[in-house]
Amino acid sequence: MKVALIQMRVVAGNVIENRAHGLALAAEAAQKAEVIVLPEIWTIGYALKEIEQWAEEETGPTITALQLIARQSQVTIITGSLPYRRDGKIYNGAFVINPAGEIIGDYQKVHLFNLMGEQRFFAAGSKRCTFELQHTTGGLTICYDLRFPELFRATTQDGATVIFLPAEWPASRGSHWRTLIQARAIENQIYICAVNCVGQHRENTFYGHSMIVSPNGDIVAEGTDEEAIIYGELDTGIVEQVRKGMSVWQDRRPELYR
């Protein structure tokens, strides 16, 4: 399975140009990959005070345009996260679009990042997300979720062999990014496909270094701190091999973890 991570430069508040640029990159990646992944809140960035103005419906222009790309190129698209409205609330949420252009999964960010004031602008999600992905199961998380291993363990227990993580992660905590991604992959014996953005918002420079990490913790593909499309191959068949080689799942003691 060939995956493309869209590590794009996001300009906070520049929604029209961000959207056009992200869609162009997604269309380019769709010519080479089977699964396309965009970063966190890539249309608006951390211009959170403008969320009310720019939050879309699920049938809004960004999702609709990505559905068209998915249909035309016969690819799966992980939309990255977008500010969108549902039931009178605004969420930081991501969608999964299959090659027929259908939405087959959605996830609202469960752990809101209080240091950036997300709780003042977004409602928190309350469910996990898994979805069918070719001959395996995918899962979805967003950025700050990476610091909560319980969510990754539970999503893996739901059947996921690859978890996608759109993010807008700062360079000041770049070492955490790499360490935590590899840890989540190793401890759950799954692939992690983490896509970050680049650029700057006020004093925050975003780290880039989008990466695909294997169930052994090996880095399959990684970006730099520059805008790029990062391509990598996933062989989900190795998940079972890794689990046979290191019997973590059989050796767990869940009765002691509660």
Residues identified as active-site: 40, 109, 143
Q: Which residues face 28 on adjacent strands?
A: none
Q: Token pair for residue 96?
A: 């999964």
Q: Which residue has the tokens 């996830």?
A: 107
Cα–Cα distance between 166 and 143 in angstroms, integer?
Answer: 6
Number of H helices, E strands in the chain: 6, 14
99: Cβ contacts below 8 Å, ≥ 6 apart: 70, 71, 73, 74, 75, 76
Q: Determine contact, residues 31/186, Cβ cutoff 8 Å.
A: no
Cα–Cα distance between 8 and 6 in angstroms, integer?
Answer: 6
DSSP string, 180-241: HHHHHHHHHTSEEEEE--EEEETTEEEE---EEE-TTS-EEEE--SS-EEEEEE--TTHHHH
